[in-house]
Amino acid sequence: MRVLKWSTVVGVVAVAAWAFPLQGAGGATTTVHIASLAYSPASITVTVGGSVTWVNDDPIEHSVTANDGSFDSSPSCPGTCMGPGATFTFTFTRAGTFPYHCRIHGLAMSGTVTVQAPATSTTVTTPTTVTTSPPTTGGSGSTTTVTTAPAGPRTTALPGTSTPASPAPAVAGVARLTG
């Protein structure tokens, strides 16, 4: 029977977690509807790597423009804006709070995207060595060494779930306007 070292097992598990991240750890898409001169919902929270798709359900043009300029559905709006039925998708690659507004209707038509850092997982695999020696009162002077290995890797679950988290690879920012 072949015995693997814990460091080998942990290395394989770490590579698998990186190569095959858990669903929902980032990359989920949230939809915001534009209707009646408002974004609905007006405030949303996503995880880094998550996307937001805005859908213009109004019969008039709008834009989705970050107050800090980090994303914009229609940089040349007014002029070329999101027409009725158009969609705009943006993928968030960093944590933060991103207030946004419509270029046509100003700050009276606004919303906020809060982007949270992804949950992290920690694996601890430190073997423990205990050395004991009997008192030196004429005993045999022998030393006993006991080495124990952990029962398995310990991981931190995603908040509010029992699903272990895994780091997701970095995703480049993406903006897409259709319609």
CB contact burial 12-33 (16+ within 10 A = b; e otherwise): ebeeebeeebbeebbbeeeebe
Q: What is the pLDDT of residue 145?
A: 42
- CA 58 and chain centroid, separation: 31
Question: Is pLDDT of 142 > 50?
Answer: no
Q: Which phi and psi angles does 157 have, rounded to 5°?
A: -80, 155
pTM for this prediction: 0.57
Looking at the chain, the number of H-run helices and the number of E-run strands are 1, 11
Q: What is the pLDDT of residues 83-99, one digit of tens each?
A: 999 999 999 999 999 99
CB 171 within 8 A of CB 49: yes
Instruction: Look up tokens 């050395």; give the residue.
Output: 131
pLDDT, tens digit, 9 for 90 and up, residues 126-140: 565 555 555 545 555
Which CATH number applies to 8-120+156-178? 2.60.40.420
Q: Does residue 174 or residue 145 have the better pLDDT?
A: 174
